[in-house]
């Protein structure tokens, strides 16, 4: 048609069938499970979630809709493939037809892997504000002591329920760590080779919300924590469709040493952004935020061995806007080590 704008971008977006956001939305899990045709459900969570109010809300909602359920509480931080296998065995033994994941990113990652292995539906409900795992096709599990990123469209949730009240009780350290993870998602995916106009718009919005709310959220401000929950969701949709880049690749060797993912990717983020020639003003804001939150990480391993691990991360490096060489990674780690001592 004459005068019609030329299409300059071709892209696709992968999202859950339904995304529900709002206070007390967790109480809708029963009606959503019923709508999906479920009758026997495995609620996947961690030991620490069992005594929280939200667990009672979930079980009450399921019971009120006549649904049978069992709770698996064995998910651990930075879960291993063996941890997922234990959950899989529990699901098989109970004969479930739907999984419900309630917890942080580790819980959601295990839920996605097990549901995929069983070809079952799933409802994902994050209890932290940062991973965005509830809306991505990614599951991260440790295999033989090293983080392995699994990607499968079958990991996408049937329903993602994001209830910001679940994050109101996060300890300050966890709020800071997960918030930095969301910040990394927003900034890295903006420069990804797979970025498109939609993911860039979402990334910008998420970044703005995070920089305006993360400090207050860590301090315990309820409104700021609600905003961080929204930012995590938005960033999750963005990076789930465009991918992350060098910052995440640099963080994995640190996580293999036992450093929480959010802290590891947070401290590596400004170095990755500088390498990629990102906006200096934004880099400055990221550095100030890290300093204000007092996030401190020390490299313990051999830098050259860590750099070799980074170079095997083909997925993140392929997304990176600038080619990465082994010598470049060594230089980044050495610079970080020098500056972290000062």
Cα distance between residue 176 and residue 60, in whole Å: 31
| Closest to 101 (Cα-Cα) out of 156, 149, 143 | 156
Q: How far apart are CA 130 and CA 174, in angstroms?
A: 10
pLDDT number for residue 6? 52
Please give the mean pLDDT across all residues of the chain. 95
Residue ranges, comma separated, of all CATH 3.40.50.1970 domains in the chain are 18-167
Query: What are the angstrom distances between the C-alpha of 275 and each of 181, 304, 336?
Result: 19, 18, 12
What integer pLDDT is reported at residue 340 of this predicted model?
Answer: 85
Q: What percent of the chain has pLDDT over 90?
A: 91
pLDDT at 10: 84
Q: Is the pLDDT of residue 319 over 70?
A: yes
Helix (H) or strand (E) holding 123: strand 121-126
Q: Residue 145 has what pLDDT?
A: 87
Inter-helix orientation angle 280-292/261-275, to 10°: 150
pLDDT at 66: 97
136-189 per-position pLDDT tens digit: 999 999 999 888 899 999 999 999 999 999 999 999 999 999 999 999 999 999
Candidate CATH numbers 3.90.1300.10, 1.20.1090.10, 2.60.260.20, 1.10.10.1200; the one for domain 172-341 = 1.20.1090.10
CATH topology of domain 18-167: Rossmann fold (3.40.50)
Is 342's pLDDT higher than 80?
A: no
Where does the chain hold its CATH 1.20.1090.10 domain(s)?
Answer: 172-341
Q: What is the mean pLDDT of residues 58-66?
A: 97
pLDDT for the residue numbered 7? 53
pLDDT at 49 over 70: yes
Helical segments of the chain, H only:
29-35, 53-64, 81-94, 105-118, 172-191, 197-218, 222-242, 246-256, 261-275, 280-292, 303-311, 314-319, 326-341
What is the structure's pLDDT at 1?
A: 38
Per-residue model confidence as pLDDT tens digits over 263-279? 999 999 999 999 999 99
- Please tell me whether the overall predicted TM-score, pTM, comes out greater than 0.85 for this model: yes
With a pLDDT cut of 70, the percent of the chain lying above it is 97
Residue 3 has pLDDT above 60, yes or no: no
**Beta-bridge partner residues of 72:** 44
Q: Which of 5-19, 41-55, 87-101, 292-306 has the lowest mean pLDDT?
A: 5-19
Give 5's pLDDT tier (boundaries 50, 70, 90): low
Class of residue 173 by CB neighbours under 10 A (exposed 0-12, middle 13-18, buried 19+): middle
Q: How many CA atoms lie within 13 A of 47 on its CB side?
A: 3
- Residues 80-106 have pLDDT tens digits of 999 999 999 999 999 999 999 999 999
Which residue's entry shows tokens 């990804």?
192
**What is the reported pLDDT for 2?**
47
């Amino acid at each position: 048609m004459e005068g019609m704008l030329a299409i300059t971008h071709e892209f696709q977006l992968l999202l859950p069938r339904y995304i529900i956001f709002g206070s007390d939305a967790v109480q809708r899990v029963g009606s959503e499970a019923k709508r999906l045709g479920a009758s026997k459900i495995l609620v996947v969570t961690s030991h620490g979630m069992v005594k929280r109010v939200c667990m009672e809300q979930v079980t009450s909602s399921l019971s009120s809709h006549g649904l049978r359920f069992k709770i698996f509480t064995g998910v651990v931080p930075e879960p291993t493939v063996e941890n997922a296998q234990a959950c899989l065995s529990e699901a098989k033994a109970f004969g479930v037809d739907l999984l419900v994941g309630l917890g942080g990113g580790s819980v959601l990652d295990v839920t996605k892997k097990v549901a995929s292995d069983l070809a079952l539906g799933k409802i994902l409900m994050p209890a932290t504000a940062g991973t965005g795992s509830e809306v991505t096709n990614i599951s991260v599990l440790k295999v033989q002591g090293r983080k392995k990123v699994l990607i499968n469209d079958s990991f996408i949730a049937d329903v993602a329920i994001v209830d910001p009240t679940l994050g109101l009780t996060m300890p300050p350290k966890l709020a800071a760590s997960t918030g930095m993870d969301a910040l990394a998602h927003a900034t890295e995916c903006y420069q990804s080779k797979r970025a498109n106009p939609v993911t860039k718009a979402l990334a910008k919005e998420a970044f703005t919300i995070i920089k305006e709310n993360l400090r207050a959220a860590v301090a315990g401000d309820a409104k700021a924590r609600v905003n961080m929950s929204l930012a995590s969701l938005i960033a999750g949709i963005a990076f789930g469709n465009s991918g992350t880049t060098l910052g995440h690749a640099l963080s994995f060797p640190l996580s293999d040493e036992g450093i929480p993912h959010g802290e590891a990717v947070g401290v590596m983020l400004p170095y990755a952004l500088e390498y990629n020639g990102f906006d200096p003003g934004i880099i400055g804001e990221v550095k100030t935020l890290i300093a204000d939150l007092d996030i401190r990480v020390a490299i313990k391993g051999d830098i050259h061995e860590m750099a070799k691990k980074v170079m095997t991360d083909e997925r993140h490096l392929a997304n990176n806007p600038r080619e990465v060489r082994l010598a470049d990674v060594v230089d980044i780690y050495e610079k970080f080590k020098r500056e972290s001592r000062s």
